[in-house]
Amino acid sequence: MIDEVLAPVPPSRVFLAILLRDITVARRELPYFLIRTTMQPLMFVVVFGFILPKIGLIPGNYTQIMLPGVIALSLTLSAIQSVALPMVQDFGFTREIEDRLLAPAPIELVAIEKVVAAMLQGIVAALFVLPIARLIMGPIPGLTFRNAGLLLVATVLGGTAFSAIGLYLGTAIAPQQIGLMFSVILAPMIMFGCTYYPWAGLARVPAMKWAVLINPLVYVSEAMRAALTPGVPHMPTAAIFAALVVIIAIFLFLGLRAFDKRAMS
């Protein structure tokens, strides 16, 4: 049995096997995963989409403005956490990822697989929030077959961008400082991410309008706006998608480099 022929294993096969492992584990943890990543967006739906309009503090059509932002938030928060948290845990404490780093494939494949798995988890979270948001906030104008392609591209690009960011944060930040990631990076990102207001609206605060462009979440919010509420003013889709592609390229590059540093010594 030791003389078994040692043919190389195709990387695609290794990739799928590792992806299947992540899907198996994620399926088992689905309830916790959904609670962790959709609680915040769902609360916003209830408060801003239901309670505040009922009280009359904000106009009823505000839900139209914030619904795409809520979906964007579910997608990006879960994508970023689905890769950053396991990275911090695995490299910082449990070393569980070691068995995958010993797979007969380039180690970058393990990182790319995590990005893909996190992107899929982001989509699951967004799909979970969407019908609930629809229920509370009313009809979503962009949810038509004609718009499906646009929605799909927006979701995949947005999810990938944030899982790439998660890869970078999870591998570049020291495990002890991961708490900081939430307060210093995620909180401002959410607040200034055009999730609760359209980017076009920032025309009244011009400095802000340009400053927020460094915030990757802005493009995902605007992408969702373009796909789900096309009637609300939004950035041109070509510009949004180009920006997301650039973000993916930058953070994949940085993330893979940081991953390599953690995986190899």
Find, among 115, 98, 96, 244, the residue nearest to 167 by Cα. Answer: 115
Distance CA 132, CA 50 (A): 12
- Residue list 43-102, contact with another protein (CB under 8 A): 94-96, 98-102
Burial of 26 (0-12, 13-18, 19+ CB in 10 A): middle
Rounded to an integer, what distance in angstroms lies between the CA atom of residue 30 and that of residue 17?
20
Min. distance of Cβ 108 from another protein in angstroms?
11
Residue among 5 and 207 whose Cβ is closer to another protein: 5
Q: Which of 211, 221, 209, 253 is nearest to 66 (CA)?
A: 221
Output DSSP code: residue 115.
H
What is the CA 202 to chain-centroid distance, rounded?
A: 24
Is the Cβ of residue 117 or residue 227 nearer to another protein in the bound state? 117
Within 8 A by CB and 6+ apart from 232, the residues are 64, 65, 68, 198, 225
Count interface residues toward another protein (CB under 8 A): 33
The one-letter amino acid code at 234 reads H
Please tell me the distance from the alpha carbon of residue 144 to that of residue 189, in angstroms, as a whole number: 29
Closest to another protein by CB, 4 or 145:
4
In the range 92-151, which residues lie near another protein by CB under 8 A?
94-96, 98-107
CB of 114 closer than 8 Å to CB of 194 = no
Question: How far from each other are the two terminal CA atoms of the chain, in whole angstroms?
Answer: 33
CB of 184 to another protein, least distance (A): 26
Told to check if 10 binds another protein by CB under 8 A, we report: yes
Residue in 17, 52, 132, 153 binding another protein, rule: CB under 8 A: 17
Considering the complex, state which of residue 33 and residue 251 has its C-beta at the smaller distance from another protein.
33
Minimum distance from residue 14 beta carbon to another protein (Å): 6
**From residue 154 to residue 193, what is the string marking binding to another protein with x (rule CB under 8 A)?**
----------------------------------------
Give residue 56's region: left, alpha or beta (phi > 0; psi -120 to 50): left
Residue nearer to another protein on the CB measure, 104 or 236: 104
**The one among 139, 206, 231, 265 contacting another protein by CB under 8 A:** 265
28 binds another protein (CB under 8 A): yes
One of 6, 55, 207, 214 touching another protein (CB under 8 A) = 6
23 binds another protein (CB under 8 A): no
Write the DSSP string, 74-93: HHHHHHHHHHHHHHHHIIII
CB of 6 to another protein, least distance (A): 6
Which residues of this chain interact with another protein, rule CB under 8 A?
Answer: 1-2, 4, 6, 8-10, 13-14, 17-18, 20-21, 24-25, 28-29, 94-96, 98-107, 263-265
